[in-house]
């Protein structure tokens, strides 16, 4: 090729590149209207309202039995992945352990590129090398890492654009959730609730990574809510060796981690995030007070991070009842008036309805057996009934539900949860001084079994043989009517489930579980429509998309991402 021709070629490439970049942008406007392009899946929960609901309807209750596996992407690292893919115009972006990002063809599963990031070997996470996905804006992806970095990655090349440290791994900070992009900012929170972090949510400029605002989930001196970290009472001891140990600086390592992606209401310009447990997990005696904003939802101004309101589900928690659940937003009539609602099935076993404009409590009702509280008062505050030492508490440590993505169907008007039923733990407290970067449990819990020495239900993983049986707890998909808090139906499983849920406009609900089955249920009745055995545990949230006129539904099972569509 001559030099002149080379110049022409180069110029044409440049012009084409500039032109194409204009039409490939995932703008903040597209993110705002993500639900209107159901062929794509542009945010972790499918839309800012976090309904994990799709308007696609090609797969319906009559033909779902004709689903067939179209492709599998098998990861290179063992484990049960928790990622939810994004799909943008036929290209899928997923994460795999530890902190890799992969771009692949959503139609065939063939890989375009892999970005490999090796987090520092000094990173510390309580519960596995988990990552739940990426966010996108323009032609950039955003991933939080196990060593608490936030990395911007080019969508076309898989090359890093910028990489910033969000928090210090020496104090065991980490990031496991998919970031949330709002306007020109990328919002993330930090994990480390089992290590005595002081949690925060922060927003970063999407172009540069420069921090725009930070909201501490544990307010410092002079900030509203700090008074809920009360002074130690007379008679307590500052000595960790004492049974009356009380930590005079409890707020400094008060926990309040963030490990699930928040939601956003653009009309109110509020972003909502669930906040994790107080530290130490179990021994609430050493941190007197309600311990805000642990086990709460916080509503923050998306531009400034300023707190608009909060609602605390479990004050002065002693059960590790993280409130990190994905905030589900829905608009519906409440007592005859249109209200902007937030629906929340909490780890503590109660289902709540809040006014998301004000945080006002509208309804609360247990959706599983509860005995840590005898009920909620008129403001939604639990009337706590701690059980005697050695006695079981319902729900157990992992809660009535946990971080498993729920789904809300505007068609059925029902909200659906993966729940653990008939499951209790025996909690115990122990004084626990804080040491930077060390586990900060302050006690522990054991799963209640029907007879002594019953095999305990594994908290995080299981083998292929179930020896604990449903006698120590079982899983279920629960359909709840948000207007009453009552169950409409239940689909019961033998083993418990960590799977997320997906509903579609054709009234099909997809979910999985620890047993490795991937199910389709009738969202109206809970009837089983189809199932397949994928082998590995499903601990991620299913999603759906469409390419070339064909609807796909995808889920991760173990370390495999599997995509299904109707038989050709």
Partner 1 sequence: MPSQSLLKGSVFSAWAACLVALAVGPGLLAQNQSQAHPGEYGQSDIAAGAEVYRANCTGCHAATGDGVGTVDLRRGRFRNASSDEDLVRVISTGIPGTAMQSFKLSQAELTAIVAFIRAGFDVSARAVKVGDVARGRTVFEGKGGCMTCHRVNGKGPRTAPDLSDVGSSRLAASIQGSITDPTTYMMPINRPVRAVTKDGRVIMGRRLNEDTFSVQLIDDKERLVSLPKADLRQYEILKTSPMPSFKDKLTVDEVADVVAYLLSLKG
In order of 35, 147, 175, 244, 451, the CA distances from 144 in angstroms are: 24, 8, 5, 39, 43
Least distance to partner 1, CB of residue 567, Å: 18
Least distance to partner 1, CB of residue 89, Å: 9
Least distance to partner 1, CB of residue 160, Å: 8
- Residue 9 has φ and ψ, to the nearest 5°, of -60, -45
User: Among residues 346 and 546, whose Cβ is nearest to partner 1?
Assistant: 546
User: Among residues 16 and 243, whose Cβ is nearest to partner 1?
Assistant: 16
Q: How far apart are CA 321 and CA 216, in angstroms?
A: 19
According to DSSP, residue 3 is labeled H
Q: Bridge partners of 512?
A: none
Percent helix / strand / coil, the chain, rounded to 5: 10, 40, 55
Residues 113-142 within binding reach of partner 1 (CB under 8 A)? 113
Two structure tokens written together for 172: 């065991």
User: Among residues 95 and 409, whose Cβ is nearest to partner 1?
Assistant: 95
**Is 5 a binder of partner 1 (CB under 8 A)?**
yes
Least distance to partner 1, CB of residue 37, Å: 17
User: Among residues 21 and 170, whose Cβ is nearest to partner 1?
Assistant: 21
Least distance to partner 1, CB of residue 30, Å: 17
Q: Which residues fall within 8 angstroms of residue 358, CB to CB, at 6 or more apart? A: 309
Least distance to partner 1, CB of residue 93, Å: 10
Of the ranges 12-20, 349-357, 450-458, 485-493, which one interacts with partner 1 (CB under 8 A)?
A: 12-20
Q: Which of 21, 170, 210, 306 binds partner 1 (CB under 8 A)?
A: 21
Of the ranges 157-165, 194-202, 342-350, 532-540, which one interacts with partner 1 (CB under 8 A)?
A: 157-165
List the catalytic residue out of 320, 495, 498, 507.
Answer: 320
User: Among residues 159 and 369, whose Cβ is nearest to partner 1?
Assistant: 159
**Is 157 a binder of partner 1 (CB under 8 A)?**
yes
Which of 181, 189, 210 is CA-nearest to residue 25? 181
Q: Bridge partners of 409?
A: 414
**Is 16 a binder of partner 1 (CB under 8 A)?**
yes
Q: Which of 97, 107, 198, 316 binds partner 1 (CB under 8 A)?
A: 107
**Is 11 a binder of partner 1 (CB under 8 A)?**
yes
Q: Which of 55, 58, 63, 156 binds partner 1 (CB under 8 A)?
A: 156
Q: How far apart are CA 81 and CA 119, in angstroms?
A: 17
Strands of the sheet with 135-137, listed across from one edge? 135-137, 140-144, 149-154, 160-165
User: Among residues 128 and 160, whose Cβ is nearest to partner 1?
Assistant: 160
Q: Which of 42, 64, 103, 203 binds partner 1 (CB under 8 A)?
A: 103
Q: How far apart are CA 191 and CA 132, in angstroms?
A: 13
Q: What binding mask, one character per residue, do residues 216-255 give for partner 1 by CB under 8 A, x or -?
A: ----------------------------------------
Q: Which of 87, 91, 297, 561 binds partner 1 (CB under 8 A)?
A: 91
User: Among residues 107 and 316, whose Cβ is nearest to partner 1?
Assistant: 107
User: Among residues 23 and 378, whose Cβ is nearest to partner 1?
Assistant: 23
**Is 72 a binder of partner 1 (CB under 8 A)?**
no
User: Among residues 160 and 437, whose Cβ is nearest to partner 1?
Assistant: 160
Q: Bridge partners of 164?
A: 150
Specify whether the CB–CB gap between 202 and 249 falls below 8 A: no
**Is 105 a binder of partner 1 (CB under 8 A)?**
yes
User: Among residues 105 and 481, whose Cβ is nearest to partner 1?
Assistant: 105
According to DSSP, residue 34 is labeled G
Q: Which of 14, 77, 118, 243 binds partner 1 (CB under 8 A)?
A: 14
Q: How far apart are CA 56 and CA 506, in angstroms?
A: 7
Specify whether the CB–CB gap between 366 and 350 falls below 8 A: yes
Q: Which of 28, 32, 55, 112 binds partner 1 (CB under 8 A)?
A: 112
Specify whether the CB–CB gap between 99 and 117 falls below 8 A: yes
Extended strands (E) in 380-485:
382-384, 407-409, 414-421, 425-429, 443-447, 474-481
In sequence order, what DSSP letters do the residues of 226-282 get, joined into one string?
Answer: GGGSPPPPTT-BS-TTSTTB--TTGGGG-B----S--EEETTTTEEEEE---BSSSS
Which of 368, 499, 372 is CA-nearest to residue 422? 368
**Is 3 a binder of partner 1 (CB under 8 A)?**
yes
Q: Bridge partners of 96?
A: 100
In order of 39, 193, 255, 325, 409, the CA distances from 277 in angstroms are: 37, 6, 6, 12, 29
Q: Which residues fall within 8 angstroms of residue 4, CB to CB, at 6 or more apart? A: none
Least distance to partner 1, CB of residue 114, Å: 10
Which of 517, 516, 503 is CA-nearest to residue 553? 503
The yes-or-no answer on residue 285 being catalytic is: no
User: Among residues 4 and 567, whose Cβ is nearest to partner 1?
Assistant: 4
Q: Which of 33, 159, 214, 490 binds partner 1 (CB under 8 A)?
A: 159
Least distance to partner 1, CB of residue 143, Å: 16
Of the ranges 104-112, 355-363, 475-483, 495-503, which one interacts with partner 1 (CB under 8 A)?
A: 104-112
Q: Which of 110, 335, 388, 450 binds partner 1 (CB under 8 A)?
A: 110
Q: Which of 1, 267, 383, 465 binds partner 1 (CB under 8 A)?
A: 1
**Is 164 a binder of partner 1 (CB under 8 A)?**
no
Q: Residues 438, 429, 257, 481: what is their CA dihedral angle, to the nearest 10 degrees? A: 150
Of the ranges 10-18, 197-205, 221-229, 549-557, which one interacts with partner 1 (CB under 8 A)?
A: 10-18
Which active-site residues does the annotation give? 320
Residues at the site binding partner 1, with contacts judged by CB under 8 A: 1-3, 5-7, 9-14, 16-21, 24, 90-91, 103, 105, 107-108, 110-113, 154-157, 159, 161-162
């Amino acid at each position: 090729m001559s030099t002149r021709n080379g110049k022409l070629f180069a110029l044409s490439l440049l012009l084409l590149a500039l032109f194409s970049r204009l039409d490939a942008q995932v703008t903040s406007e597209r993110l705002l209207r993500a639900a209107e392009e159901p062929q794509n899946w542009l945010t972790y929960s499918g839309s800012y309202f976090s309904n994990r609901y799709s308007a696609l309807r090609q797969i319906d209750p009559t033909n779902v039995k004709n689903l067939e596996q179209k492709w599998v992407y098998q990861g290179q690292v063992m484990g049960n992945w928790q990622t939810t893919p994004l799909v943008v115009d036929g290209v899928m972006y997923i994460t795999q352990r530890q902190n890799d990002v992969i771009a692949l063809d959503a139609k065939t599963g063939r890989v375009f590129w892999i970005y490999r990031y090796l987090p520092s070997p000094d990173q510390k996470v309580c519960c596995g090398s988990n990552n739940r996905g990426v966010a996108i804006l323009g032609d950039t992806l955003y991933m939080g890492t196990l060593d608490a970095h936030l990395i911007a990655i080019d969508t076309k090349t898989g090359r890093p654009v910028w990489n910033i440290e969000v928090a210090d791994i020496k104090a065991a900070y980490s990031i496991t959730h998919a970031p949330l992009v709002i306007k020109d900012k990328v919002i993330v929170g930090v994990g480390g609730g089992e290590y005595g972090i002081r949690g925060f949510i922060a927003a970063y400029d999407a172009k540069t990574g420069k921090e725009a605002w930070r909201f501490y989930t544990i307010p410092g001196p002079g900030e509203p809510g700090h008074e809920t970290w009360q002074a130690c009472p007379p008679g307590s001891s500052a000595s960790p060796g004492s049974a009356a140990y009380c930590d005079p600086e409890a707020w400094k390592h008060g926990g309040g981690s963030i490990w699930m992606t928040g939601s956003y209401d653009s009309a109110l310009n509020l972003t909502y995030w669930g906040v994790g447990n107080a530290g130490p997990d179990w021994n609430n005696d050493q941190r007197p007070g309600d311990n805000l904003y642990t086990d709460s939802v916080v509503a923050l101004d998306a531009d400034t991070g300023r707190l608009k309101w909060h609602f605390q589900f479990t004050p002065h928690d002693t059960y590790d009842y993280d409130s990190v659940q994905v905030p589900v937003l829905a608009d519906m009539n409440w007592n005859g008036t249109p209200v902007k609602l937030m629906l929340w099935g909490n780890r503590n076993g109660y289902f709540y309805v809040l006014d998301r404009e004000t945080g006002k409590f509208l309804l609360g009702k247990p959706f599983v057996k509860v005995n840590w509280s005898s009920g909620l008062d008129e403001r939604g505050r639990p009337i706590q009934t701690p059980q005697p030492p050695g006695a079981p508490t319902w729900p157990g440590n992992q809660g009535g539900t946990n971080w498993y993505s729920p789904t809300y169907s505007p068609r059925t008007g029902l909200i659906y949860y993966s729940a653990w039923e008939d499951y209790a733990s025996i909690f115990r407290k122990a004084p626990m001084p804080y040491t930077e970067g060390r586990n900060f449990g302050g006690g522990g819990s054991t799963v209640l079994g029907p007879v002594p020495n019953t095999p305990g239900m594994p908290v995080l993983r299981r083998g292929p043989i179930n020896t604990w049986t449903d006698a120590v707890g079982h899983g279920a998909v629960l359909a709840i009517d948000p207007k009453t808090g009552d169950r409409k139906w239940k689909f019961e499983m033998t083993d418990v489930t960590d799977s997320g849920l997906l509903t579609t406009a054709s009234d099909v609900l997809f979910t999985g579980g620890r047993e490795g089955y991937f199910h389709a249920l009738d969202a109206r009745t809970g009837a089983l429509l189809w199932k397949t055995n994928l082998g590995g545990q499903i601990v991620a949230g299913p999603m759906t998309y469409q390419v070339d006129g064909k609807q796909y539904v995808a889920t991760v099972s173990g370390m495999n991402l599997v995509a299904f569509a109707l038989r050709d």
